[in-house]
Amino acid sequence: MKFSDYMGEWLYGKDGYYATYKNIGKGGDFYTSVSTSKFFGGTIAKHIISLVDEGFLKKSAVICEIGAHHGYFLADVIEFIYTLRPKLLQTLNFVIIERFDALQEFQKNYFKESFGDVVKLTHYKSLNELKCDNAFFIANEIFDAFPCELYYKGKSARVDKHKIEFDADNEWVKNKAEKYHKDRGEIAIGYEEFAKEMALACKKFEFMSFDYGEMGARPDFSLRVYAKHEVIPFFDENIKREELFAKSDITYDVTFAHVKDAFVEAGVEFIELKAQMVALVDMGILELLEILKEKADEKIYKQELEKVKILILPNFLGERFKMIRFRR
């Protein structure tokens, strides 16, 4: 089978890794910015409020997270909107795009426990189901979870019983590899369709996403498996793919030029690509910490400060993770 089909089954098949609830953070296979600090979502909340104040977002806009998994990210955003501008909770519309019923159920229960009947949450299985006039879309680590094809010197990968053979011809993959100057590596499948779906879902919106990668393509394979915080290169000679299949996360570095091109081709304007540390500071994460410092005791402030450092310091998540932003 094609590698993209194999990776799709690994992550999204009936018994795939993302098909059921998974712990993220200390007890899971990997950390994310969301699992690190509530101030990640808090900074997005501050940015959303600024978009309302400048008139880009209406007070009745849709705030939509795509691929929410636990729902913690959007919940953190809502919590900080309540703290900073509580009246907006009465007018904004909160949406999660989540394909899996089990995860939808977990998210609904979490929101019920967190907010009772104060916040109304709407679910859709895909962007195709959503139609709105004005929205803010947010996603964390979504583009690295799109299935990809593996490419090596003119040939695409084929998978047979978990073994990889580079002997398939795929003109689309070859053209993408040439466009992004790759003679080997991952070619993501689905960015173009995703961008078109978003463009059709909403008339005026901003989309912001955080992921790891660079604007230009890496010169080699970055595909890897995360299992209990261990990083296993996919082509490690000792890897046991049949044991890891669907039981661990599989991911790769994002080529943001590919993401950018997909959205521009769909008629969406590319705004910027920034390191996560720059993006979060620009959107006001340090101002939020100052508010906490004034209102909370020193111990709580110092605890939250240490978590925020993980988000923004270059030797943690600050430099390797990027924020990409689009508008229409």
Distances (CA, A) of 250 to 146, 226, 241: 10, 6, 11
Residue of 166, 186, 316 whose CA lies nearest to 252? 186
pLDDT at 18: 86
Ranges of each domain in the chain: 31-145+189-218+253-327
Place of tokens 């098949």: 13
Half-sphere CA count of 61, side-chain side, radius 13 A: 22
* Confidence label for 218 from pLDDT (cuts 50, 70 and 90): confident
* Confidence label for 110 from pLDDT (cuts 50, 70 and 90): very high
The number of angstroms, rounded, from the C-alpha of 114 to the middle of its chain's C-alpha atoms is 22
User: CA 77 to CA 284: how far, in whole Å?
Assistant: 14
- 157-183: average pLDDT: 97
% of the chain beyond a pLDDT of 70: 95
Residue 23, Cβ neighbours under 10 Å: how many?
A: 11
List of E strands, the chain: 62-66, 93-97, 121-124, 132-140, 148-152, 155-160, 163-168, 184-188, 202-214, 224-227, 230-233, 249-251, 254-255, 269-275, 321-327
Helix, strand, coil content of the chain in percent (nearest 5): 45, 25, 30
pLDDT at 124: 97
Mean pLDDT taken over the chain: 93
Residue of 2, 15, 24, 19 whose CA lies nearest to 226? 24
Write out pLDDT tens, residues 4-27: 999 999 999 988 998 865 554 444
Write out pLDDT tens, residues 55-91: 999 999 999 999 878 889 999 999 999 999 999 999 9
Half-sphere CA count of 297, side-chain side, radius 13 A: 1
- 158-181: average pLDDT: 97
Q: Are 41 and 80 in contact (CB under 8 A)?
A: yes
CA dihedral sign, ordered 216, 222, 224, 230:
negative
Architecture (CATH level 2) of domain 31-145+189-218+253-327: 3-Layer(aba) Sandwich (3.40)
Phi, psi of 165 (to 5 degrees): -125, 130
User: CA 219 to CA 137: how far, in whole Å?
Assistant: 31
